[in-house]
């Protein structure tokens, strides 16, 4: 049997329940992965919160990135063997389980020196951070403003931007400022007066901005400081990005999915993790019976690094 977490209806994380279901058998082109770690993302609870979606189909699909060990191969699968350690960049069904079916084409080899928790966090967080930097062209000599810099995507965006030779201004709560300095950023407290605080650090404005939180404050500050709106990107402000003329990436309506960019970023982040030159901090790990608690923490949005579920 396989253990899987499912939402029984729309609502708060209280609707999540752990069930036993028959062990899935891989079909042609599929691989069954024994899951060692599951990365938590806001888009997971978007599927059942009743605010972002009310489509019953969304209750069947959530949990997008896992890392684990190949347990079984379907017909026509080549290049993988039972026992391989892998990262799944796409989980078509429900990733909150101790065994999942994944297209063989969606697997990447997990480097031996990368932890399970970090590896599971690469597909969405790593791919998004890299994609965001690419679409606004962050390069050496730029000053880039990263909103929500202490979160799962933010910590990677900060590190990747700094490696490109950019000066990174990073918004976060004061408790995360020393942490962000250790990643190569200049931290700035969000909240009232943010624009003035950033201007004090960058009187001539900034070259690019990454909005990873979707707040009005982040948008207003970015638009006031960046001269070229093509160099402002959001992963959260879906409702207003188009009318503001800024870039929108991710999996939401009208967003650029980065079909070609993200796989490059995922491989690059895995390589850098393996080399030990960047890190994915894990804020906390949870058991499969604690997914509701993990989602409550994610909803609160005061998380340093990634939240990870370990079956």
The pLDDT of residue 283: 86
Q: What is the pLDDT of residue 305?
A: 87
Residue with tokens 């079956």: 311
Please give the pLDDT value at position 47: 84
Res 191: pLDDT: 95
Q: How far is CA 135 from the centre of its chain?
A: 16
pLDDT at 251: 76
Q: Where are the domains of the chain?
A: 2-121+281-309, 125-248
pLDDT of residue 42: 86
Determine the Cα angle at 128 with ends 150 and 16, to 5°: 75
**Regions in the chain scoring below 70 on pLDDT:** none
pLDDT of residue 46: 83
**Cα angle 89, 93, 94; round to 5:** 90
CATH class for the region spanning 2-121+281-309: alpha beta
Contact 171, 159 (CB under 8 A): no
What span, in angstroms and rounded, lies between the C-alpha atoms of 170 and 218?
11
CA 10 – CA 58 distance, rounded (Å): 10
Selecting from 3.40.190.10, 3.30.1360.30, 3.40.50.720, 1.20.1250.20, what CATH number does the domain 125-248 have?
3.40.50.720
Give 286's strand partners: 309
Cα–Cα distances (Å) from 210 to 72, 230, 255, 308, in that order, read 40, 11, 15, 24
Nearest one of 39, 282, 305 to 180, comparing CA atoms:
305
Fold match between 2-121+281-309 and 125-248?
no
Model confidence over 23-65: pLDDT tens digits?
999 999 999 999 999 999 888 888 898 887 788 887 888 888 8
């Amino acid at each position: 049997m396989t253990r899987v977490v499912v939402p029984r209806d729309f609502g708060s994380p209280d609707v999540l329940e752990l069930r036993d279901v028959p062990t899935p058998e891989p079909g042609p082109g599929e691989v069954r992965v024994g899951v060692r770690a599951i990365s938590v993302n806001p888009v997971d609870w978007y599927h059942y919160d009743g605010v972002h979606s009310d489509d019953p189909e969304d209750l069947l699909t959530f949990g997008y990135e896992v890392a684990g060990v190949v347990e079984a191969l379907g017909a026509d699968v080549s290049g993988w063997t039972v026992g391989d350690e892998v990262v799944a960049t796409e989980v078509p069904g429900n990733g909150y389980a101790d065994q999942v079916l994944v297209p063989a084409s969606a697997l990447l080899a997990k480097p031996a020196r990368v932890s399970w928790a970090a590896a599971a966090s690469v597909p969405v967080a790593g791919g998004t951070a890299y994609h965001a930097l690419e679409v606004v062209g962050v390069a050496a000599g730029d000053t880039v403003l990263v909103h929500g810099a202490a979160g799962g995507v933010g910590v990677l965006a900060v590190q990747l931007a700094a490696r490109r030779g950019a000066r990174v201004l990073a918004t976060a709560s004061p408790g995360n400022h020393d942490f962000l300095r250790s990643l190569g950023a200049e931290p700035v407290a969000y909240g009232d007066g943010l624009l003035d605080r950033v201007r004090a650090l960058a009187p001539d404005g900034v070259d690019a901005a990454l909005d990873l939180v979707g707040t009005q404050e982040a948008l207003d500050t970015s638009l006031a400081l960046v001269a070229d709106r093509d160099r402002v990107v959001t992963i959260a402000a879906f409702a207003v990005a188009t009318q503001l003329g800024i870039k929108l990436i991710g999996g939401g309506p009208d967003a650029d999915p980065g079909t070609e960019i993200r796989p490059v970023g995922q491989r690059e982040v895995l390589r850098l993790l393996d080399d030990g030159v960047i890190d994915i901090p894990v804020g906390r790990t949870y058991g499969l019976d604690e997914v509701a608690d993990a989602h409550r923490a994610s909803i609160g949005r005061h998380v340093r690094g990634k939240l990870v579920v370990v079956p």
